Structure 1
Amino acid sequence: MVAGSEEGRRSMQRDESATELIRVSDEMLAIIGTAPLSQQGWPDRAVAFAIDLREVRQPPSLRFFAEPTREPPAGEDGFPCLYFIVTREACERLRGGPLSIHGDYTYLLAPSMRPILRAIRDCALPEGSAAPYRLAKCIELLCEILEADRVGTLVPVVGRCTLSELDRRRVVASRTLIEERSSEPLTLDQIARQCGINRTKLSRGFREIYGTSVADAIAECRLAQAHRALLGTDLPVGLIGYRSGYQNNASFTRAFGRRYGVPPSSLRSRMN
């Protein structure tokens, strides 16, 4: 991501709905406002981050849109949001790998990110210096968010979670471990031990945060991996099942059929 283009130096614009645009680079836009967002001028293959700018006691919250084909919602109750519209390629390049963040959850940002948000929102510098200053702060905040995603410290906001914040972070780490190693013969005890949490807290917290069990999450990751391989490779069905964590073809076929409604061989034949 390279900032400082001619568009970047003319970075702050206002439209008739008082939404403010900071054009960081050809790969990234930052938008501040409460009005619905137009997709005009968005970079291709963009993802979106929406950050609540309200002054509240709890840390700021973040929502992620993996495929923002519709306009992201404006700030709730008329409060402004900061939106980052960024190409997926730029995010993965800055993060050093694929994104782990999910679009199904709202996340708490670390309190240390609040000063960066305030600097973007409340900058009182003269216009000539405000533009490059806020542009740089947008890049800094995006990098902080992506680093938190990389190390697993983005914590989902949950309404009735009984765990401490530290244990919630451990549950988030367990989700990352499952996604990275789902094809291995993972057990609840093994996951709990590697994430530094006992199995009872892990089971309860996982269901409270993600609305599913650890076993179901492992199965979902394995089947999603198999589904991608069936559509994207010519590997034999049995080998795909084995590489996805299933010890025999019968159990793989049953699980795949329950999840997708068709046996794996039928899915592949439909695509050919």
Structure 2
Amino acid sequence: MNLNTTNTLVPLTLAGLADPLEKDKLGFAYLSHASRTVTSATTFSIAQRRDFIGLHFNLGARVHYTINGKSYSLRPQQYALVCVPTATYQCTVAPGRSETFSIHLSVEYLQRLEAHFPILSEMLKSIREQQFFSASEKILECTTDMRKKINEILHNDWTGICWQTFMNVRVLEILLECLNNIAMRNTKQLTRHRLELVRKYLIDHLQDRFSADAVAGKMKIDKHKLRKDFKAMYNVTMQQFVLEERMKRARAFLRDSKLPVSEIAASIGYKKLSHFNDLFKKRYGYPPSHLR
């Protein structure tokens, strides 16, 4: 196994977020680039001498990590925003050329961005508690623009203050793009969870008079957004969903119970038996009495 590693120390500043006189308090970014070639799957131990909090990109073959009993894998061109306490962990590299790039950020630097990205609060808490933490349940894909910026960091001809400014800008650009991607992913996960709760609520209240506005108010979701997101996720409107669930429940009751048709209709929200009969026949092509 041939291993090539480059570590770079970049003094950090945050233009607009920090007083120039306080810029030294932001600490440093440690940029680490490693590449290796293996002919077969290889597992080795890495002794981490300091807490890692930052971005880790896999630019080569698949790699699998086991850290304090927790595991995660990175396929080619994937990355993770992680907090890893000081530890010795296992790394398994797939055959071929492995290449990773990491941006280790200081706590002080991330604290300046914490108000804009709440996920950073959880990461900083994990560092204090010495717990492993990943900012997204799912690993994210490295975009073309992100890869371009990484290449510019690894291969540029700047020197002196120009180099420091250039590296600061690129580190911040990559970090902000990653944080925005994670925020969007987590928002989508939250939206899915809330819609699943809405779906469960509708199923549990089939006997109630249906009102999309009332459901939105009950679930504390904007009514227009709820209608749009529900249709996008389930491919039906809430009203169509409720109707279908009512008909399915009615058919099950008609087949499996001896309850009167009128009682079944009332149990799913229909006071008028004639209205229920019409809807049932329209849905299944035969009247409820056909199942009796």
Greater Cα radius of gyration, structure 1 or 2 = 2
TM-score interval (norm. to shorter) = 0.3 to 0.5
- TM-score normalised by structure 2 residue count: 0.41
Q: Which has the higher strand share?
A: 2
